[in-house]
Chain A
Amino acid sequence: SQQGEEDPQALSIQEGENATMNCSYKTSINNLQWYRQNSGRGLVHLILIRSNEREKHSGRLRVTLDTSKKSSSLLITASRAADTASYFCATDEGGGFKTIFGAGTRLFVKA
């Protein structure tokens, strides 16, 4: 089952521009996480935002969470070619341990 849905499915931008990706989910959550995947291999954790938080920053990453709309956004500022990857949101279905990932956004940053 897919808990999260990301949009856009793909995003192509120039180096230096900001990239915004959105995620929606269906059930109640304790937290929401964003992961990055290079070349179809293992995912790497980027940032976690708890259900009682509205915004969180980590370096060039900014995550927002709106639990009333069941949605989150990931903003990457001043993008670099090395940011080219797929980005996924993940939530624990029903607040348990069953972690479900969205369909992902494929980001292309052109140098």
Chain B
Amino acid sequence: GAGVSQSPSNKVTEKGKDVELRCDPISGHTALYWYRQSLGQGLEFLIYFQGNSAPDKSGLPSDRFSAERTGGSVSTLTIQRTQQEDSAVYLCASRPPTGGGNTIYFGEGSWLTVV
């Protein structure tokens, strides 16, 4: 597709279950980001991938959160043993390679509700 695609759009899960959120970045974009946004709040940086470099995981809030990016394209954010405080919108974004511009392109987000 032309834009960043995220799935699912909405997910309701029970406390303690694991969830996987998927992101398809724009083709050719080398950088991929995950952010978390609680209701009415700003964007909290979680993790970013840049080409073949080791990801910057400095924003992951706990070891229940992990992310991978396969083949330099699709990324999956996994939250294990979900807690109610994990409820938020999870936004994925991608960015062109160096020299291709600095604009970050966002998906529409995955709204996670933990009950």
Contacts and interface: CB of A to CB of B under 8 A. Distances in A.
Q: Which of A30, A31, A40 has the most CB of B within 10 A?
A: A40
Contacts, number: 63
A40 B89 contact: yes
Interface residues of B, number: 29
Interface of B: 4, 31, 33, 35, 37, 39-45, 48, 50, 56, 58-59, 89, 91, 93, 95, 102-109
A99 B104 contact: yes
Interface residues of A, number: 25
Contact of B42 (A2, A41, A42): A2
Q: Which of B39, B104, B105 has the most CB of A within 10 A?
A: B104
Contacts of B42: 2, 88, 101-104
Given A33-B102, A45-B104, A48-B102, A40 B45 contact: no
B48 A42 contact: no
